[in-house]
Structure 1
Amino acid sequence: MIHRMKRLVAAAALVAFAGAASADPKLIEIASFGEHPALNEVAEGFKARMAELGYTEGKDVRYEFRHANFDRTLVPQLLQQVEAQHPDMIFAITTGLNQAAVRGITNKSIPIVFGAVVDPVVAGIVPDWQHGSAWSTGASMLPNFDASFDYLKQVMPGIKKVGTLFNPGEDNDTSNMELIQKAAAKAGLEIVAVPVDNANDLPQRVQSFAGKVDAIFLIQSNIVQTSVPVVAQVAQRIRLPLFNSVFAPDLKGQLAGFHAISYLKNGQHAADIADRILKGEKSADIAPYVPQTVDFESYVSPEGLAAVGLTVPDALKDSPWILK
């Protein structure tokens, strides 16, 4: 009798093991506002970190990537396609897409992890910085403009006025502008902010900085970041150094430097949160990730400075910030 029971237990264990082994991998839908090197890095960082955490692609998890080609009118259709796949999780990239997902995904049992969101509280994605919502939490890209201005003062000693561009219709940009104004006041700098809600207007808006600022620093704005080469071309023409909050090594000949949050690390931090949810934690119990000092990178481009008649300060000539 005892031997028979042992055989039954062993058989049941084998059945359970076979069922677990044959279980379909979890589907994570990655939805982005558009394809851009920085936003793609968020997705790449997410997938790479998930692999480090033990999720083998094709076995434990599979990914479907979709984007709206930076067209707001396509977002509802994109989200319908995502939800129709009945995913185990959605990884949504950018503030606007997450706002739309929170409203538009009707199946609230699907957890939404966000990436590339500056301020999820102001955007209405989570209730506060200590909690996620019932179905959403993730990794923020809250900037550190105090550090950015410390960086600018080292690259350009004597700097007084900084120009920036923003889209007044984007919550992401509104949050950035509030933070940058506060940091500028602490740093003794003046911000000259120029609104732009259409990419076609960028050349004219950048031109308006001529003679009014010492440098231009670009925030994490979708409308601006998708057109940085255009901004750089005009900035060089009016002889103004251009600095960016997004690192783009291919533009080092056109930009003077970068004080940038790592989009790759943002995706990695989002994956850490996704792992916790997949293991049973509730989104509401997971605080959004706030970037730390190690999440930012500083670079200076001698070539980009030279393009507008400037040189690297002596104090930085041996700095690890220098791009070769």
Structure 2
Amino acid sequence: MNLKSVLLAAAFFAVSLVVAHAEPKLISIASFGEHPALNQVAEGFKTRMTALGYVEGTDVTYDFQHANFDRSLIPQVLQQVEAKHPALILAITTGLNQAAVRGITDKSIPIVFGAVVDPVVAGIVPDWQHGSAWSTGASMLPDFDATFVYLKQVLPEAKKIGTLFNPGEDNDATNMKLIQEAAAKAGIEVVGVPVDNANDLPQRVQSFAGQVDGIFLIQSNIVQTAVPVVAQVAQRIKLPLFNSVFAPDLADQMAGFHAISYLKNGEHAADIADRILKGEKPADIAPYVPQPEDFDSYVSPKGLAAVGLTVPDALKDSPWILK
């Protein structure tokens, strides 16, 4: 081979390396369904990845798929995700993550979870200090001690608070355990009403009439996808309704929110994804536990007025007030 041929071959090899290096990494985002809160996890993730230096189209590309809140479609979604051989999967919600841990056969693909309350109880990670061999992420573990501090300021006379939960969901089981423990410390009784079918929600909300002083909705998929229905019934029976998910479009129907930020949850998931893409093993990364700054408190004067209540004097100048 003459010198010219050698130089041409070297140049071709160098160009090949540049092209290979420039190939963007595919990140698959798989969600249980499209919902404003769950979409915020994906939005927060992508925004934070950009801030961390991952330019979309150059360094990374994203593929988004969801199961339309239909459990029977989750295996199909995961098969489609795995077939694209992504560099990493962001899996949103507990049920979808549980299915991904079982159903993704290529264990070289790391899975970062978002919108999962308790990944330990769900069997996604072994404990709060470690990820599994291929999965870790950002949890949404609630702070119900802070929730009851908030509720006692908005409803100073409240003795009983109602909530709805799906007994078949691991997220809901953890939420109910934690809310009962926090309520006992706060001197408030929690009345939990089970619901495993969204069609039963109006009747179950109606059952709170005359039994509780207010309703607080936990992070339950079955409830959060039907909050407008719950709000209508709560207003009809004159009970103030509070949510653990901030929904500005429902501010006039809700008495208030003590809500974890789904946007920040996505940002924390991106921080973990960045560490994995840079070579850290998921097993060496502890799941993220929400801090006080990950929660927001709001009070809706219109929502309180709709059920015959007013903002307590002590809160009238509070930054919590929604205008």
User: What's the counterpart of residue 311 of structure 2?
Assistant: 312
What's the counterpart of residue 190 of structure 2?
191
Residue 29 of structure 1: SS of its match in structure 2? strand
Q: What secondary structure does 1:235 align onto?
A: helix
Q: Cα distance, 1:17 vs. partner?
A: 7.2
SS in 1 for 2:109: coil
Deviation at 1:19, TM superposition (A): 1.9
Q: Structure 2 matches for 1:230-245, cutoff 5 A?
A: 230-245=229-244
Identity %: 82
Q: For residue 24 of structure 1, what is the aligned residue in structure 2? A: 23
SS in 1 for 2:212: coil
Q: Deviations over 1:273-305 (max 9, x none)?
A: 000000000000000000000000000000000
Tell me the CA shift for residue 20 of structure 1: 3.5
Pairing of 1:96-135 with structure 2 (within 5 A): 96-135=95-134
Structure 1 residue 24, shift from structure 2 partner = 1.4
User: How far 1:49 moved relative to its partner?
Assistant: 0.1
Aligned residue identity for 1:275: D
Provide the residue aligned with 2:91 in structure 1: 92
Aligned equivalent of 1:62: 61
Q: How many residues align?
A: 317
Structure 2: where are the runs of 5+ without partners? none
Residue in structure 2 matched with residue 294 of structure 1 by the alignment: 293
Unaligned runs of 5+ in 1: none
What's the counterpart of residue 182 of structure 1?
181
Q: Deviation per CA, 1:144-172, whole angstroms, max 9, x where unpaired? A: 00000000000111111000000000001
Alpha-carbon distance in structure 1 between the residues aligned to 2:52 and 2:111: 19
Over the aligned positions, Cα root-mean-square deviation in angstroms equals 1.5
For residues 317 and 12 of structure 2, what CA distance do their matches in structure 1 show?
63
Write the letter of the residue equivalent to 1:19.
L
1:234, distance to aligned residue in structure 2 (A): 0.2
Distance in 1, matches of 2:282 and 2:166, equals 30
Letter in 1 for 2:125: V
CA distance in 2, matches of 1:147, 1:16: 58
Which amino acid in 1 is paired with 2:219?
Q
Cα distance in 2 for residues equivalent to 1:66 and 1:32: 6
- In structure 2, the residue matched to 1:207 is 206
Moved over 4 A (4+): 11-18
Matching residue's letter, 2:17:
G
Which amino acid in 1 is paired with 2:309? L
- TM-score scaled by length of structure 1: 0.95
- Which residue type is aligned with residue 198 of structure 2? A
Q: Please list the CA deviations of residues 211-243 of structure 1 after superposition, one character each: whole Å capped at 9, or x if unmatched.
A: 000000000000000000000000000000000
Paired residue for 1:49?
A: 48
